[in-house]
Amino acid sequence: EPEVTQTPSHQVTQMGQEVILRCVPISNHLYFYWYRQILGQKVEFLVSFYNNEISEKSEIFDDQFSVERPDGSNFTLKIRSTKLEDSAMYFCASSGGGSGQPQHFGDGTRLSIL
Amino acid sequence: QKEVEQDPGPLSVPEGAIVSLNCTYSNSAFQYFMWYRQYSRKGPELLMYTYSSGNKEDGRFTAQVDKSSKYISLFIRDSQPSDSATYLCATVRYTGNQFYFGTGTSLTVIP
């Protein structure tokens, strides 16, 4: 069964550094998402991306964050000037359709900021 | 008011029991409803997807939506130890992409 793959599974970064999290969505999907889950808290929406632009973003997704689809298969989340509170699981998801369609998640990248 | 509320449990049941997991939501604009299963150190795995009031069945799983009460449920029949996981409810607006998740209910099925 097609799946969303994320790399790395665990990323350790010094505070203030930049980090890029990578995702390969399901191949025929057109809509891409990033979520995060701080330990013990809810899964929270960050951003959705379609047709090479952001279609929706949450209040969490400020100027520190950016997303990119650098080629036909990868989807990345860049976090600049990382802070301790950025430590979380980051999940990538994709869907074949837009509004309301089920999203399929990867296994996440655990980001630890030291 | 939280968008989606879910009892975090933990819930512990004997093998073979019927499990009932529940969520409430606050906004009538939510039109699509999902249940995800999340094993430890894994991503959410889609179990059920529905958009109408009533029941939807898939094997041992039944999703129930009551839009008038803003209440969604997941029933697991003949529960198995492999069902031990955290179950997340999620919902989204008709025109939106942002999923709103509950906190998740941790379930343990004891052999």
The secondary structure of residue A60, as a DSSP letter, is T
Residue A107 CA to residue A39 CA, distance in Å, equals 15
Chain B contact present for A98, CB below 8 A: yes
**Cβ–Cβ gap B104/A98 under 8 Å:** no
pLDDT computed for residue B6 by the predictor: 94
- The CB density around residue A83, as the number of other CB atoms within 10 Å, is 11
Residue A76 CA to residue A68 CA, distance in Å, equals 5
**Cβ–Cβ gap B97/A33 under 8 Å:** yes
Interval A87-110 mean pLDDT: 94
pLDDT computed for residue B1 by the predictor: 63
Mean pLDDT for chain A overall:
94
**Cβ–Cβ gap A48/B100 under 8 Å:** no
| Among candidates A31, A44, A105 on the partner chain, residue whose Cβ is nearest the Cβ of B43 | A105
What are the pLDDT tens digits along chain B (111 aa)?
Answer: 679 999 888 999 999 999 999 999 999 999 999 999 999 989 999 999 998 889 999 999 999 999 999 999 999 999 999 999 999 999 999 888 899 999 999 999 999
| Among candidates B44, B97, B100 on the partner chain, residue whose Cβ is nearest the Cβ of A105 | B44
The secondary structure of residue B29, as a DSSP letter, is T
Q: Residue B11 is encoded by which pair of tokens? A: 């819930």
Chain B contact present for A61, CB below 8 A: no
Strands (E), B1-111: 4-6, 11-14, 19-25, 30-38, 45-50, 54-58, 61-66, 71-76, 85-93, 100-101, 105-110
Structure confidence at residue A74 as a pLDDT band (50, 70, 90) = very high
**Cβ–Cβ gap B101/A44 under 8 Å:** yes
pLDDT computed for residue B8 by the predictor: 84
| Among candidates B32, B43, B92 on the partner chain, residue whose Cβ is nearest the Cβ of A106 | B43
List the strands of the sheet with A5-7, edge to edge. A5-7, A19-24, A75-79, A65-68
